[in-house]
Amino acid sequence: MPNIVIVGAQWGDEGKGKVVDLVAPCVDVVARYSGGPNAGHTIVVEDRRFVLQLVPSGVLRPGKKSVIGCGTVVDPVGLVQELDNLAAAGISVDQLYISHAAHVILPYHRALDQAMDQERIGTTGKGVGPAYADKAARLGIRVGDLLDEAYLREKLETSLPMKNHLLRACGRDTFEVDEVVKAVRGATERLRPHVADTALLLHRWMRDGATVLFEGAQGTLLDIDHGTYPYITASSATAGGAASGTGVPPTRIHGVLGITKAYATRVGGGRSRPR
């Protein structure tokens, strides 16, 4: 089977997770390339219901490699909870690989999201937008940074004063460096064995003949550039995001499968201006 992208063609909630689960047996790797814990891919397997927010939907198929690419944003504590839930259900996560270059959501991102954007845009309040904003502003902290606590502290000492200034302006509590480090320390150790240069791994696997399914989140009309701005998500939710969100060149992607449903809906509010 060729390397393909599965993407929502509307405003999300088209049933991508179900389709990924159906196609996953035909590929070797399922790679998530965008979004964060604001996604919710629901899959029912033998009367058991799984809701996956960060882990690629292919994890439910034995023997498949799962990749969380650099285009995602990762809540380390939430991801550990998701992995623990899968393990408790008897689902192996041994072949999960997390990009060292994926940016992380920290407690102050969630506080900022809830203070600034949740009512204005209708976000999930999970810190996704502020984490992507830090990425663009070159203030972000990446998964690889969590593995070196001294370096993590150094980066937090640079960025946290600015975040606290915004939080004070919104009438919210502020954060200390020690508090943030402590909040993610346990999750960091749990995730450490899964962190890798996933772009390099994908290139090597494809070189050796592996096929990849690229799993999108949200939908095309929520894309930050091509969606119904400003009522959009903060990542590249189109099929084109698969290349930048994993580090795989477009020439290695052979096709796109767009998922739609019979009627158009979207979560929350949202409108677009006349063009």
Residue written as tokens 């992607």?
A: 253
Judged on CB neighbours under 10 Å (0-12, 13-18, 19+), 95 is middle
Among candidate residues 21, 41, 103, 145, the one labeled active-site is 41
The string of pLDDT tens digits covering residues 91-141 is 999 999 999 999 999 999 999 988 876 556 666 778 999 999 999 999 999
The CATH class of 4-102+194-259 is: alpha beta
The pLDDT assigned to 20 comes to 87
Mean pLDDT of 151-160: 96
% of the chain residues with pLDDT over 70: 93
Tokens at residue 84, please? Answer: 């623990």
Residue 22 has pLDDT above 50, yes or no: yes
Instruction: Say whether 13 is catalytic.
Output: yes
Q: How far apart are CA 189 and CA 65, in angstroms?
A: 21
Residue 266 has pLDDT above 80, yes or no: no
Provide the Cα torsion 13, 41, 241, 1; round to 10°.
-110
Q: What is the chain's mean pLDDT, rounded?
A: 90
Instruction: Say whether 41 is catalytic.
Output: yes
Tokens at residue 194, please? Answer: 């899964």
The pLDDT assigned to 270 comes to 60
User: What are the residue ranges of helices labelled H in the chain?
Assistant: 16-23, 76-88, 107-116, 118-121, 128-136, 143-146, 149-169, 177-191, 198-207, 241-244
Domain ranges in the chain are 4-102+194-259, 103-191
The pLDDT assigned to 274 comes to 42
Asked if the domains 4-102+194-259 and 103-191 are classified in one and the same CATH topology, the answer is no
Among candidate residues 13, 21, 75, 145, the one labeled active-site is 13
Of 98, 68, 105, nearest in space to 193 by CA: 98
Q: Domain 103-191, what architecture?
A: Orthogonal Bundle (1.10)
Cβ atoms within 10 Å, residue 25: 12
The pLDDT assigned to 268 comes to 61
Task: Considering only CA atoms, give the Rg of the chain.
Answer: 18
Tokens at residue 272, please? Answer: 């677009």
